[in-house]
Structure 1
Amino acid sequence: MTVSFAQIKASIPGAFEEGCSTRVVLDHVMSKWGVLVLSALSEGTLRWGELRRTVAGISEKMLASTLRTLADDGLVHRESFPTVPPHVEYSLTPLGEDLMARLLPLVEWVADNSERMLARS
């Protein structure tokens, strides 16, 4: 059953209103880099370098910022191992996995339709 935007707003008072936490989280999750980092991590645990190569075009600064934001939101888990050189792994939390089960169909839709959409411009 499909739920409408109006039904969501009616069931959660204040949802998506100016200044609401829903807008902040939506911005974090739906940003270009947020979607790409989360999508990459949906394949499994990745180290920094692997993640940077998978999300081609992201700067180190933007990757660090995006990972920090997604970790603060509870979507990404960061595990640091006490080795030399430092070894850090990133993975989705259960909340991140739940999100990606819902987001990946949208990512697939974009991949399937982007060429056709941009050909109209």
Structure 2
Amino acid sequence: MLLGALHADGFGHPPDGTDWRTQLERHSLGWVCAWENGAMVGFVNVAWDGGAHAFLLDTVVARHCRSRGVGAQLVAVAAEQARAAACEWLHVDFEDDLRPFYLDACGFKETSAGLIAL
């Protein structure tokens, strides 16, 4: 499954034609993929500020592969890669229903943060 198709499956929308390669190459510290039988079944993008802060974006696991630890392993590898790049902090924003995944399964600590809709 290519990234556009995986993103559509994982987030429940039709493929939108996003140029993922250009977007990732321009804005990412790196990314992590999970594969099963030659198909991409998981992905996480690690963006960064060029310094101490890395950010998880677009964490997605194919619906048929959920609840098997794929997402937690993606996040663990992303954290290792961010640490290896000398990042000191890994940030993530998430919907409330993903709180158990990020806080319990992945080990993130709850923080206060702010947001402005643009």
Q: Which structure: greater helix fraction?
A: 1
The TM-score normalised by the length of structure 1 is 0.28
In terms of Rg, which structure is larger? 1
More strand by share: 2
